[in-house]
Amino acid sequence: MPDDPVEGGEERRGWWSGRCKTGTNLVARKGTSEYKGCLEARSNMPDSSIINAVVKAVIHLNKNPQARILDLSCGDGDIIEALARKGHTAEGTHFRNDDYIFKNPSPLLKTATIHRGIDLTQPLPFADSSFDVVLATEVLEHLPSHAPIVAEANRILREGGHFIFTTPNIHRLSSRVQFLLTGTHELCGARLGWHVSRDSLYTTHFNPVYFPVIHTLLYQHHLRVKRLYVTSFIPWDCLLLLLYPLLVTATGLELTHFVKRSRDGGKDLLRWLLNPRLLLSSQLVVVTNKMY
């Protein structure tokens, strides 16, 4: 592998399957704004609070060390390594070797089962009902559509298995205030702009996860939200919790439209939208369960 993977390898095009948080899939030239943005993302990550939350969720849900775990776009292998320390063996996927920027690649990547050439916008090359846990850490916001990956996660999960994903939380209170004042959400960096080429859209958070939509997509594929975890939060968000009574009233009124169409679905959505973890956490850490 070249010393500088940003420039190494053939400059191929195609959709991505990686996460910008621990490894940015980007073929960029030194000196360009894309290259600088890539280095900035690399210097700020990985975020240990995200890794810790994901590992905590996996351990809480599955005490069986023989459980088959798949980390979609495993990047540096941080989560695979963290799980190994807890006695769990996980497999990972990569899209391309030549466009990953490794900060501190785990030695486990040399021995772990890593499925290469996996494009998350395409059907996954795994058999039905073959995994107990599927992870997508800081991935969904980089994909052009969330429906395909949700459908594939459901397909490859065994009944009772869990799909766990993390993503920048545009629903936290500080992001809502920012949107009110500026018309933009806090996306944890990696913003899309004119400096980003069409072929490099995947390096940005160009498709943030809107919880009411992902909540329905999950349900349509037999996945139900079971728990949220907190990564980190800022004191400003805690102060904004003083508005909680107003949030309850406003959210309840808005969701009457959802309840009219689906009583159970609307009530479940209301439950999660008013959950303090969703209102405070910098990242959404969503644990879902495959049900029939």
Residue 110 banded pLDDT, cuts 50, 70, 90: confident
- Cβ proximity of 223 and 288 under 8 Å: yes
Residue 35 vs residue 255, higher pLDDT: 255
Domain ranges of the chain: 33-168+186-232+280-290
How many Cβ atoms sit within 10 Å of the Cβ of residue 176?
A: 18
Q: Is the pLDDT score of 15 beyond 90?
A: no
What is the model's pLDDT at position 204? 86
- In this prediction, residues 271-287 reach a mean pLDDT of 97
- Cβ proximity of 222 and 161 under 8 Å: no
What is the model's pLDDT at position 283? 95
Residue located via tokens 């995947």: 202
Helix (H) or strand (E) segment spanning residue 215: helix 211-220
Residue 267 vs residue 201, higher pLDDT: 267
pLDDT digits (tens, 9 = 90+) for 171-228: 999 999 999 999 999 887 777 889 888 888 888 899 999 999 999 999 999 999 999 9
pLDDT digits (tens, 9 = 90+) for 147-174: 999 999 999 999 999 999 999 999 999 9
DSSP 3-state assignment of 226? strand
pLDDT digits (tens, 9 = 90+) for 122-132: 999 999 999 99
- Cβ proximity of 168 and 141 under 8 Å: yes
What is the model's pLDDT at position 95? 84
Instruction: Describe the chain by its helix, strand, coil percentages, rounded to 5.
Output: 40, 15, 45
Q: CA nearest 23: which of 70, 74, 92, 93?
A: 74
pLDDT digits (tens, 9 = 90+) for 215-264: 999 999 999 999 999 999 988 889 999 999 999 999 999 999 899 999 99
- Kindly give the pairing relationship between strand 157-168 and strand 283-290: antiparallel
pLDDT digits (tens, 9 = 90+) for 58-109: 999 977 889 999 999 998 899 999 999 999 999 999 887 655 445 667 888 8
Task: State both tokens at 101.
Answer: 């920027």
Task: State both tokens at 14.
Answer: 């195609």
What is the model's pLDDT at position 163? 98
Q: CA nearest 166: which of 206, 123, 209?
A: 209
CA dist list (Å): 194 to 40, 197, 198, 199, 247: 18, 7, 9, 12, 36
Tell me the DSSP string of 150-203: HHHHHHHEEEEEEEEEEEE-TTSHHHHHHHHHHS----SS----TTS-GGGGGG
What is the model's pLDDT at position 28? 41
Task: State both tokens at 52.
Answer: 């810790």
What is the model's pLDDT at position 187? 85
Q: CA nearest 289: which of 19, 57, 49?
A: 57
What is the model's pLDDT at position 17? 44
- Cβ proximity of 61 and 131 under 8 Å: no
Q: Is the pLDDT score of 41 beyond 60?
A: no
- In this prediction, residues 134-140 reach a mean pLDDT of 96
Task: State both tokens at 86.
Answer: 């807890």
The backbone torsions φ and ψ at residue 260, rounded to the nearest 5 degrees and listed phi first, read: -60, -35
Q: CA nearest 45: which of 20, 16, 65?
A: 20
Please give the class, per CATH, of domain 33-168+186-232+280-290. Answer: alpha beta
